Amino acid sequence: MGGLDNSNHNYKLVRLPNGSFSVRSVAENETFHPVVGPVAEAQALYVNQLKLRERLRGHSGPFVIWDVGLGAAANVLTVLRATAALAPSLRIISFDNTIEPLRFALRHSAQLEYFARYEKTVGELLETGRALDGNWELRLGDFPELMRKDNSSLPPPHAILFDAFSPAKNAAMWTKPLFSDLFRHLDPQRPCAMPTYSRSTMLRVTLLLSGFFVGVGHATGEKEETTIAANTLSLLDEPLPRAWLQRVRRSKSAEPLREPAYRQAPLSEESWDALLQHPQFR
């Protein structure tokens, strides 16, 4: 690629059609933040959609963000840059099962422009597991297994950046048991929203049956809409209407994943009955 060092065989640097660079996982055959690039996607999907600046202006005390799928850190670094003047008490907990894409990305920080001024911060996180005076923490390991535990050391989040590989590549991160466990870790008295890039019917049903309220998310890249979930309707600008249930009924891929193995199936009668009882549609 024009003299770029792609010496790590598990990851490579790729130039997107708009000229920006991103990281590609060779093993998963997936590019992080494809189409519009890392910064544009993180800005649209997380910073703007979560209304982070507006929420932080009226917030007192630590504002907790769970970053689920640290990857090459584009989401966190974009959030930090966008809220730098507003968030002295921002606390971020990043989850992933590997730091290799972040190590690779840091070596290419000149091309991945979102690293600007944060190279030392990321280096500290990689070396010690903490940065920004301890306000950015790295939790390495199996996220579904962590969520299964009653882990009181994790402060409930005000916002979640959910950015796992696609269900076809990483089904364990998209199951109903995982999202049910994740919902259990939320504080009902602490409003929390969670956007993600998918708009699939299966995902939206899964989130609803896990306890979340679910809405239509902002467009990003080639996706005309994404998905945002929350533990309160007040954080959703466009909740899914009851009419959406007819799409679910017709869909051939709506039944949640119960096991970490990807498959597609129409909604079961049991799931349909549970969906009709959700407070969002009653």
pLDDT along the chain (282 residues), means of 10: 49 88 87 81 94 91 96 96 85 96 95 94 98 96 92 91 94 98 96 96 98 91 86 97 96 97 97 97 89
Domains of the chain by range and CATH? 36-276 (3.40.50.150)
Cα radius of gyration rounded to whole Å, the chain: 19
* pLDDT for position 110: 93
DSSP class of residue 233 equals G
Phi and psi at residue 48, to the nearest 5°: -75, -45
DSSP class of residue 253 equals S
Residue 132 neighbours by CB under 8 Å, 6+ apart = 80, 92, 121
Q: Supply 273's token pair.
A: 């009955």
Q: How far is CA 151 from the centre of its chain?
A: 20
Q: Which residues of 102-123 are buried (b: 16+ CB within 10 A; e: fewer)?
A: bebbbebeebbebbeebeebbe
| Pairing state between β 136-140 and 90-96 | parallel
As a whole number of Å, the end-to-end CA separation of the chain is: 55
Tell me if 225 sits within 8 A of 199, measured CB to CB.
yes
Q: Supply 161's token pair.
A: 């950046």
Q: Is 226 helix (H, G, I), strand (E, B) or coil?
A: strand
DSSP calls for 79-117: HHHHTTTT-TTEEEEEEES-SHHHHHHHHTTTTSGGGTT
* pLDDT for position 86: 83
